[in-house]
Chains A and B, each alone.
Chain A
Amino acid sequence: MCLGIPGKILDIYQSNGLRMGKVDFGGVVREACLEYVPEAQVGDYTIIHVGFAISLLSEQEALESLALLREIGNFEEELGA
């Protein structure tokens, strides 16, 4: 139920009084409601849950945490683990 899927915003428009958008999930494009991410712009990545964007994804945070995990790996290799 709390399944949220990351997707890229392709287009933003108003429909039935709500801020909506087209979101690309790796090739599959669906409509989603963007009311809860007022700062979202075309090209941003967002988590979509039951047709609603609930969070914008931070590329900077993503890169930093991946770098930290890769460091563990490098350290392991140095140890010969």
Chain B
Amino acid sequence: MKFISEYRDARLVLQTLSEIRRTVTQPWVLMEICGGQTHAIMRHGLNQLLPEEIELVHGPGCPVCVTSLELIDKALAIASQPKVIFTSYGDMLRVPGSDRDLFSVRADGGDIRVVYSPLDAVKIAQQNPDQEVIFFAIGFETTAPANVMSVLQAKSLGLKNYSLLVSHVCVPPAMHAILSSPFNRVQGFLAAGHVCAVMGYWEYPPISQKYKVPIAITGFEPLDIAQGILATVRQLEEGRAVVENAYPRAVTFAGNQPAQAVIQQVLMPCDRKWRGIGTIPHSGWCLRPEFSDFDAENRFPVRQIQPQESPVCVAGQILQGLKKPFDCPAFATICTPQNPLGATMVSSEGACAAYYRYSSESVRN
């Protein structure tokens, strides 16, 4: 398939890796922001092919993992109500709330449906005018254009029974939070290619300059990731720190402007709590007041929630690049994809799930 197979060409990947090996002279810690990249790295074994000087730590770019426990509990409370159809991307159904997950609400009779796109949720609202249809609008900048378009479509169709439970998060504030932490280890970033396909990368040069970290906009195929690592390592070795676009076939500096305009029209910045990390100022988006009719939090006031996080799980530290899944005593023992303690073990982008799925015992020890 064009635009895929070229980027899985083993020979070209190995050549790029040997160029990385020739370039590197000292240890460097890089973070790939996006959980999709974490999975690609583990799946293709890139972590084992890299020179030992390069350590990859895994970033917070997994929306399923960082959606706050309060919002999961709120979703569980709303989804349990009568005359409600709760729609969501599939990954969210197994994410543990304080005492259960959406699957168990469904098992108890809740009408919970997995959709591929929020436009499918709008269709369900059209077909079920006597029921309230809620879409769990989680995600980074990549998912925002789809989620906001569903609001505009519901509005133009005159639907009164459609609303979003919004949990949008943004990458640049999380990078600021990671880099300004006194425990930070990250010296260079592979930025998330599809976030940048939407937003461009005009937000990144100030970060790169302020913290003196190289940032490479990076795609998702093995060759893309090798290219992103090479660009970052070259800069580190040369003492430079700029933003480089290593995914130019999909990303431009300005990004997708029609999408940014619609996001601006419907959403506005807000403080957002990240699961395991805490509140990061201006790190999320919520609906603008003129769209408050579409806000599920207004429509379904849920009594005060007291969330209970697992005392063992270290997902928050993993998401900040401070720990690896193997550092967790629960990893692959009491915490597995079948019985996850934290969201990082659930998602198809979670670091723990990637380690569980692709790491052999030999790598663990």
Contact = CB atoms under 8 A, between A and B. Distances in A.
B34 interface: yes
Interface in B111-127: 116-120
Closest A-B pairs by Cβ, 4 of them:
A51-B117, A26-B1, A55-B197, A73-B15
A58 B251 CA distance: 9
B197 A1 contact: no
Given A2-B192, A50-B116, A70-B12, A36 B61 contact: no
Interface string B52-67: 0000000001111000
Contacts, number: 145
Contacts of A45: 2-3
Contacts of B251: 55
Interface in B1-47: 1-4, 6, 11-12, 15-16, 18-19, 22, 34-36
A72 B15 contact: yes
Contacts of A35: 149, 258, 262
B235 to A, nearest CB: 16
B143 A50 contact: yes
A49 B193 CA distance: 12
A4 B349 CA distance: 13
Contact of B4 (A6, A16, A38, A55): A6
* Chain A interface mostly: mixed
B256 A69 contact: no
Nearest to B197: A55
B85 to A, nearest CB: 19
B201 interface: no
Instruction: Name the residue in B3, B156, B193 with the highest tally of chain A Cβ atoms < 10 Å from its Cβ.
Output: B3
A70 B34 CA distance: 26
Contacts of A8: 2
A1 B258 contact: no
A17 interface: yes
A13 interface: no
B220 interface: yes
B139 interface: yes
26 contacts: A1-B36, A2-B140, A4-B194, A4-B197, A6-B2, A18-B149, A18-B153, A35-B258, A36-B256, A36-B258, A37-B258, A47-B197, A50-B116, A50-B117, A51-B118, A51-B119, A51-B146, A52-B149, A55-B198, A57-B3, A57-B249, A57-B250, A62-B248, A70-B12, A72-B15, A76-B15
